[in-house]
């Protein structure tokens, strides 16, 4: 459940985590996070707090996968859940910040 500062509530309870090899044979995981958007704080502070909640949720998720794939499963969880959570906030600054950070990560991976 995601809680927002001005009383609006959104449910963000699932991340479809079956697309990568780390989830071969896995069913869909339902992962919930709680996040309060603070309209008085800067977008960077809200983004940092949201990322912290996503990491916590994915770290505690019980993925029934081989220990070899556990790290990949958590990484995939964080990526997908963060994408969904940022979109669910409907906050233009957070969405733009997330898109910019994603573009940077893609460019770094491509340059390796």
State how far the Cα of 34 lies from the Cα of 29, in Å rounded to an integer: 17
Residue-wise burial string across 83-93, b where 16 or more C-beta atoms lie within 10 A, e elsewhere: ebbbebbebee
State how far the Cα of 41 lies from the Cα of 112, in Å rounded to an integer: 36
What's the confidence (pLDDT) of residue 7? 31
What's the confidence (pLDDT) of residue 70? 79
pLDDT along the chain (112 residues), means of 10: 38 41 52 84 93 89 71 86 91 94 83 79
What's the confidence (pLDDT) of residue 28? 60
Model pTM score: 0.70
Domain boundaries, the chain: 2-110
């Amino acid at each position: 459940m995601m809680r927002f500062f001005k009383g609006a509530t959104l449910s963000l309870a699932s991340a479809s985590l079956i697309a990568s090899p780390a989830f071969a044979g896995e069913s869909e995981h339902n992962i919930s996070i709680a996040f309060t958007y603070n309209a008085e704080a800067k977008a960077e502070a809200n983004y940092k707090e949201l990322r912290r909640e996503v990491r916590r949720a994915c770290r505690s998720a019980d993925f029934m996968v081989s220990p070899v794939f556990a790290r990949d499963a958590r990484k995939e969880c964080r990526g997908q859940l963060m994408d969904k959570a940022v979109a669910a906030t409907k906050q233009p600054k957070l969405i733009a910040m997330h898109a910019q950070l994603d573009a940077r990560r893609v460019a770094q991976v491509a340059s390796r």
